[in-house]
């Protein structure tokens, strides 16, 4: 079984612009969550939830604009356990191929799945939607 | 859940699980298939039992180790939550970036 998530998406924008969306507070707000400060190499970062609390946070372990960004990633449900998020940006014709690898779930103090489905403070509206999807797929 | 991750983090234990997923075995039968001592196998079985990945059934004088896949499903579900999380976020990103194109260029 795998404990690694791999995604890739083609984006109709230059790597420099995609980079800004991965690292700058205002752009992060448009698709993820607003960062307290720009993500910078070697620096801790935090993304704010709707209630103003930190939603997820970690430390940028490598930043090579506009090609590679690596940070540790945790949130309340991971109880401080650090997973790893690795972005790579590859320029392709008329855009960018953005790749994501999210791993490091081994040994994470993961809550039981039913706990994840319960309303225990919540992660964000997206997780709420995913909970619903997860329930549906489990019920199927 | 942590005990499940611990249980599957070791290659020998993953091999043991693979064997037991085919049929239930006694500790002796498991030991025969590895170049390891019986106490070493017993320890692995103990860790697997802690993760609830195997269940022991007493049959007469024998103790049969059965594979229990349920906890693995929880792990897969947990990873699936992140999987869907990123799907949703990358969808947002594509939307935000490509809409932004029209405004800025």
- Identify the pLDDT of residue A108: 63
Residue B59 has pLDDT above 80, yes or no: yes
The 3-class secondary structure across B7-30, one letter per residue, is HHCCHHHHHHHHHHHHCCEEHHHH
**Residue B54's closest CA among B37, B40, B41?**
B41
- In this complex, the residue of A11, A107, A134 whose CB is nearest that of residue B80 is A134
**Residues in chain B closer than 8 A to A34 (CB atoms):** none
> Between B70-104 and A15-23, two packed helices, what is the crossing angle to 10 degrees?
120
Give me the CATH code for the B2-68 domain, please. Answer: 1.10.10.10
Domain ranges of chain B: 2-68, 70-105
- A21 near B CB under 8 A: yes
Q: What is the pLDDT of residue B43?
A: 96
Nearest CA in chain A to B17: A1
- Predicted confidence at residue A5, as pLDDT, reads 85
Q: Decide: pTM greater than 0.80.
A: no
CB atoms A109 and B8 under 8 Å: no
A28-85 pLDDT per residue, tens: 988 888 899 999 999 999 998 777 788 889 999 999 999 999 999 987 767 677 889 9
List of residues 6+ apart from A137 with CB closer than 8 A: B80
Size of interface A-B (CB pairs under 8 A): 102
Instruction: State the nearest Cα–Cα gap between A40 and chain B, in angstroms.
Output: 20
Domains recognised in chain A with CATH numbers = 5-108 (3.30.530.20), 110-140 (no CATH)
Could you tell me the pLDDT band of residue A130, with boundaries at 50, 70 and 90? very low
Å from A111 to nearest chain B CA? 7
> Which residues in chain A are contacts of B7 at CB distance < 8 A?
none
Contact A109, B1 (CB under 8 A): yes
Mark out the alpha helices in B1-105 (DSSP H runs).
2-8, 11-22, 27-32, 38-50, 70-104
SS3 label, residue B56: strand
């Amino acid at each position: 079984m795998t404990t690694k998530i791999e995604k890739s998406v083609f984006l109709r924008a230059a790597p420099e612009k995609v980079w800004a969306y991965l690292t700058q507070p205002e752009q992060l707000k448009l698709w993820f969550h607003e960062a307290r400060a720009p993500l910078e190499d070697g620096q801790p970062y935090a993304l704010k939830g709707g209630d103003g609390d930190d939603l997820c946070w970690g430390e940028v372990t490598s930043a090579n604009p506009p090609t590679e960004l690596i940070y540790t990633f945790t949130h309340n449900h991971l109880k401080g356990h650090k997973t790893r998020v690795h972005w790579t940006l590859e320029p392709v014709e008329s855009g960018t191929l953005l790749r994501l690898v999210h791993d490091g779930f081994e040994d994470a103090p993961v809550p039981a799945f039913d706990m994840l489905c319960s309303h225990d403070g919540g992660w964000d509206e997206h997780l709420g939607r995913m909970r619903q999807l997860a329930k549906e797929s489990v019920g199927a | 859940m942590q005990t499940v991750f611990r249980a599957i983090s070791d290659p020998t234990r993953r091999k043991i699980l693979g064997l037991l997923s085919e049929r239930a075995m006694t500790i002796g039968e498991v030991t025969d298939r590895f170049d390891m001592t019986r106490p070493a196998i017993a320890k692995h079985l103990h860790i697997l039992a802690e993760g609830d990945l195997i269940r022991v059934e007493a049959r007469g004088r024998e103790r049969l180790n059965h594979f229990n896949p349920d906890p693995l499903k929880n792990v897969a579900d947990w990873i699936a939550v992140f999987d869907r999380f990123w799907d949703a976020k990358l969808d947002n990103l594509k939307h935000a970036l490509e809409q932004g194109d029209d405004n800025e260029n």
